[in-house]
């Protein structure tokens, strides 16, 4: 439309970038919550230590989950076909994530209600599930995006999904789930090292180093699998980048190694996997040297690199179809209208800085280490 100062193709790319930023933001901000939850039974050996671990994330986890809501909202408003296919086809996987996430607030609130060891251990394991399960399943979801989902879209743009939950658990998808788990456990361990002292911090450094090395090895294995064994997707016809959203206006082929094609066409993209490897290796070194803040920042860089690697490999695809490649959703044929993207961009430019400023304020107020003594002085502690 003439009155919109940004053309349709540019807006589509901007919203692709914004979706990536929101997903990376969620992985960084809520990722250490998930990592801390997954580490809880291993880094804390008694009730006092467990309370310390829980209270490192207790004041901030709710705010961190806002990034997940923002990501889901962005998919709903900017990429309606993607929302329709993914939220229906991956329904059981998403329910599993939500049920696990629900265990977190319940565990936080109920754990301290009864002075009983068995009671508290039950909720400690619920908090573990609330961290472990989403960390794995989110990675499995990314793996299935790279594999392609079994969906089709008819002439009236109505999607139909032809898979089941257990098809999501292919070997490659499980490998991606393990990459995600190691990556977020490293991030959680770096946070614990920064926010705790004594035995808890020492154990978090140990597990964090193992997880960082696991991230490097598994990420490399996944990259080799993508390059030499996994079929990727390529658009072989011309797409109208400013045309209406209709998946039937293109031709798509599949070929082993196609997902690394973007790196040959745009060599600068190699920065993404390099950041994934270097961030993880730096986290390993810095955790060994007890450089807690830098280790946390480097684990965040690793998350940025790993997720960016997947996104750049896929571009311009958002969600390929494994049973009907022509139905695959791309940046150019699965977006909302020009006007909708523009109005949403204006709203985002207004609200996102507010969210960032509020988040920064909260973290400034909640700064400092968590100790058993500080919990004794805080009547609001978990």
pLDDT in tens, the chain (382 residues): 458 889 999 999 999 999 999 999 999 999 999 999 999 999 999 999 999 999 999 888 888 888 888 888 899 999 999 999 988 888 888 999 999 999 998 998 898 888 888 999 999 999 999 999 999 999 999 999 999 999 999 888 888 888 888 888 999 999 999 999 999 999 999 999 999 999 999 999 999 999 999 999 999 999 999 999 999 999 999 998 999 899 989 999 999 999 999 999 999 999 999 999 999 999 999 998 778 899 999 999 999 999 999 999 999 999 999 999 999 999 999 999 999 999 999 999 998 898 889 888 988 888 888 877 777 777 777 7
- pLDDT, residue 2, reads 57
CB distance 189 to 205 below 8 Å? yes
Neighbouring C-beta atoms of residue 367, cutoff 10 Å: 9
Provide the 3-class DSSP secondary structure of residue 229.
Answer: coil
- pLDDT, residue 62, reads 84
Is 379 a member of any domain? no
Residue 225 Cα distances to 17, 156, 218, 375, angstroms: 26, 36, 10, 47
CB distance 205 to 193 below 8 Å? yes
- pLDDT, residue 192, reads 95
pTM above 0.85, yes or no: yes
CB distance 81 to 159 below 8 Å? yes
- pLDDT, residue 91, reads 86
Is 375 a member of any domain? no
The beta strand positions in the chain, using DSSP E, are: 151-153, 159-161, 231-235, 252-256, 317-319, 329-330
Is 382 a member of any domain? no
Neighbouring C-beta atoms of residue 152, cutoff 10 Å: 16
Is 314 a member of any domain? yes
Domain span at residue 244 reads 8-370
- pLDDT, residue 368, reads 80
Is 236 a member of any domain? yes
Is 241 a member of any domain? yes
- Rounded to whole angstroms, the Cα distance separating 141 from 40 reads 24
Is 376 a member of any domain? no
Provide the 3-class DSSP secondary structure of residue 184.
Answer: helix
- pLDDT, residue 141, reads 94
- Rounded to whole angstroms, the Cα distance separating 78 from 341 reads 6
- pLDDT, residue 264, reads 92
Distance between terminal CA atoms of the chain? 54
Is 380 a member of any domain? no
Number of domains composing the chain: 1
């Amino acid at each position: 439309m003439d009155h919109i100062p940004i053309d349709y193709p540019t807006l589509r790319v901007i919203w692709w970038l914004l979706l990536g930023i929101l997903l990376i933001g969620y992985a960084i901000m809520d990722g250490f919550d998930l990592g801390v939850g997954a580490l809880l039974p291993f880094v804390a050996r008694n009730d006092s230590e467990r309370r310390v671990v829980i209270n490192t994330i207790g004041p901030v986890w709710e705010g961190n989950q806002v990034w997940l809501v923002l990501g889901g909202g962005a998919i709903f408003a900017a990429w309606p076909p993607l929302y329709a296919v993914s939220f229906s086809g991956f329904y059981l996987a998403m329910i599993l994530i939500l049920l696990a996430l629900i265990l977190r607030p319940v565990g936080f609130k109920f754990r301290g209600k009864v002075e009983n060891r068995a009671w508290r251990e039950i909720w400690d394991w619920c908090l573990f599930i609330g961290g472990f399960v989403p960390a794995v399943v989110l990675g499995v979801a990314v793996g299935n995006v790279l594999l392609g989902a079994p969906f089709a879209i008819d002439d009236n743009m109505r999607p139909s999904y032809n898979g089941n939950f257990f098809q999501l658990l292919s070997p490659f998808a499980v490998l991606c789930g393990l990459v995600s788990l190691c990556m977020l456990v490293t991030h959680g361990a770096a946070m614990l090292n920064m926010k705790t002292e004594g035995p808890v911090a020492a154990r978090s450094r140990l597990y964090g180093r193992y997880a960082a090395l696991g991230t490097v090895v598994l990420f490399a294995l996944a990259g080799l699998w993508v390059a030499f064994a996994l079929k990727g997707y390529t658009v072989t016809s011309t797409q109208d980048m400013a045309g209406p959203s209709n998946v039937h206006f293109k031709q798509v082929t599949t070929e082993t190694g196609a997902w690394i094609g973007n790196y040959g066409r745009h060599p600068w993209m190699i920065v993404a996997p390099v950041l994934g490897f270097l961030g993880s290796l730096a986290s390993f070194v810095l955790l060994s040297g007890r450089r807690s803040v830098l280790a946390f920042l480097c684990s965040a860089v690793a998350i940025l690199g790993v997720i960016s690697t997947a996104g750049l490999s896929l571009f311009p695809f958002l969600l390929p179809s494994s049973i009907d490649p022509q139905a695959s959703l791309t940046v150019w044929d699965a977006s909302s209208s020009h006007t909708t993207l523009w109005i949403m961009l204006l709203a985002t430019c207004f609200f996102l800085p507010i969210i960032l400023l509020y988040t920064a304020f909260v973290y400034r107020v909640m700064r400092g280490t968590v100790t058993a003594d500080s919990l004794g002085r805080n009547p609001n502690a978990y």
